[in-house]
Amino acid sequence: MIERLMEYETAGDPVTGLKWTRKTTQKLADELKALGIQDVNRTTVGRLLKVLDFSLKVNHKKKALGANKTSKAREQRNQQFEYINGLRSQFADKGNPVISVDTKKKEMVGDFKNNGSSWRKKAFEVSDHDFRQYAEGVAIGRGVYDVQANRGFMYIGIHHDTPAFAVDSIVQWWKQFGSKSYPGRKKLLILADAGGSNGYRLRAWKYGLQEKLCDPWGINVTVCHYPPGASKWNPIEHRLFSAISNNWQGVPLNSYETILKYMSTTKTTPKLGPGLKVKAKLVRKKYRNGQKISDDQMSQLNLKGHDILPLWNYTLSPRKM
């Protein structure tokens, strides 16, 4: 029950695995009592949070001062969080898939130091400098995280992180897994960051979803973007990426085979639900930057912005052929 209350209030670091929440233990205890669970207090809630890997943390002075957010920006930020939470519940209650997407931190492939430690009889020997020219290549991990099933899917690109790569990873997930896990479903909710290769301003992102997913598969795709600077609340960050980073900490990522191995063997122990499982695939297709989508092409999209913050929330529907 407490995990359900925490589901939409959790953020986390994709590298360290640190998680935090906006709710206090007393507030959670009050909500549990409102649901009919009377024999609970904030101390009990605190113990349960530790089981879920939450702990008390102090503030760290690491952020540079910048312009303060306006009251309107803060209002829109909170409004977007509430709107996303509502849509997630609606889709999940009706059995429609909800996926969280993003690109993991780019990794150089080679004998380079990887942060963290691992149990070994002898330490790995790695290069004394992490220079790009000495790398075998680069690994761009594009992730698709199935929120309901707690399943991760990693597509490892070797060239550029582009909107086309972002869309193709979702199409591959739907073709190989999503359509089989959610047979007959014609609605999909995508949770994404505000920027990157799936940013809300990118024409190629929206055009690709229409051309490669909506039209060929007859799916209504709703996209909700987290506010700028709020990527840590995107579920894929603390449910998939952090688990992968924890699994390969202290291990040099010296080949694509090593990267795929550690990604696909990433698991979490079931606590209050199914444990995480991950599949990984190497994508050798060459993606190039700079794809241009014309005004005419954009005008042909069957795209409708929502009444609430339409720049961040929109639905693409199949076009009648």
| pLDDT, tens digit, 9 for 90 and up, residues 259-288 | 999 999 999 887 656 799 999 999 999 999
Q: How far apart are CA 47 and CA 40, in angstroms?
A: 11
Q: β-pairing, 303-305 with 98-103?
A: unpaired
Confidence of residue 67 (pLDDT cuts 50, 70, 90): very low
Confidence of residue 25 (pLDDT cuts 50, 70, 90): confident
Domain ranges of the chain: 72-316
pLDDT in tens, 130-156: 656 656 788 999 999 999 999 999 999
Q: What is the pLDDT of residue 21?
A: 67
Instruction: Give backbone dihedrals phi and psi of 10, rounded to 5 degrees, phi first.
Output: -110, 135
Given a cut of 90, whether residue 115 has pLDDT beyond it is no
Q: How far apart are CA 226 and CA 200, in angstroms?
A: 10
CATH pick for 72-316 out of 3.40.50.300, 3.40.140.10, 3.30.420.10, 1.10.10.60: 3.30.420.10
| CA distances (Å), origin 282, targets 99, 115, 258 | 20, 23, 11
Position 244, amino acid: I
Q: How far apart are CA 193 and CA 84, in angstroms?
A: 12
Given a cut of 60, whether residue 65 has pLDDT beyond it is no
- Residue that wins the pLDDT comparison between 290 and 63: 290
Confidence of residue 208 (pLDDT cuts 50, 70, 90): very high
Q: How far apart are CA 314 and CA 306, in angstroms?
A: 5
CB atoms within 10 A of CB 71: 8
Position 16, amino acid: T
Q: How far apart are CA 173 and CA 192, in angstroms?
A: 16
Mean residue pLDDT of the chain comes to 86
Q: How far apart are CA 138 and CA 108, in angstroms?
A: 5
CA atoms within 13 A on the CB side of 31: 13
Given a cut of 50, whether residue 66 has pLDDT beyond it is no
Vertex 173 angle, CA 171 and 177, to 5°: 130
Q: How far apart are CA 93 and CA 102, in angstroms?
A: 24
Given a cut of 80, whether residue 3 has pLDDT beyond it is no
Q: β-pairing, 98-103 with 187-192?
A: parallel
Q: What is the pLDDT of residue 42?
A: 78
- Residue that wins the pLDDT comparison between 24 and 5: 24
Q: What is the pTM of this model?
A: 0.77
- Residue that wins the pLDDT comparison between 48 and 158: 158
Cβ neighbourhood burial of 275 (10 Å; 0-12, 13-18, 19+): exposed
Whole-number percent of the chain with pLDDT over 70:
79
